Amino acid sequence: MRTPVSSLRNIGPAMELSLTEVGISSAEDLQDIGADAAYSRLLEAGARPHFIVYYVLHMALQGRPWNDCKGKEKQDLRVRFDALKATKHDKGRTQLEAALDAIGVIKPKA
């Protein structure tokens, strides 16, 4: 039996729904792909970038409270977040275009 994503600390119903919509339907799925890949999927699906969501995923996978992320760890995650955002978020693309791109219907914007 698969464990619900919401069984992980910090993951509520809204985040669980967002993750399910991008193919991450269990805690095991999230653990298998990791926070960076999960967040990349959210961005590719058209989610608006939000740093807290990014580090909450990291803290959830470690079983830590979301507000436990501080200091150098938070700064390092911010660098990784900014890199993901730069490569995965296209401000000129609608959510529909991102979804169509994800299933191979349209070409990615250059």
Q: What CA–CA distance (Å, rounded) separates 64 from 67?
A: 8
Distance CA 49, CA 98 (A): 14
pLDDT in tens, the chain (110 residues): 899 999 999 999 999 999 999 999 999 999 999 999 999 999 988 888 899 999 999 999 999 999 999 999 999 999 999 888 888 765 565 666 666 766 766 655 55
By the 10 Å C-beta count (0-12 exposed, 13-18 middle, 19+ buried), 76 is classed as: exposed
Residue 75 within any structural domain of the chain: yes
Angstrom CA distances, 44 to 67, 69, 80, 91, stand at 26, 25, 16, 11
Give a yes or no: residue 108 inside a domain.
no
Q: In this structure, is residue 13 part of a structural domain?
A: yes
Q: Is residue 87 part of a domain?
A: yes
pTM of the model: 0.76
Q: What is the CATH number of the domain that holds 16?
A: 1.10.150.20
CA 30 and chain centroid, separation? 10
Tell whether 34 is covered by a domain: yes
In a domain, 107, yes or no: no
Total domains, the chain = 1
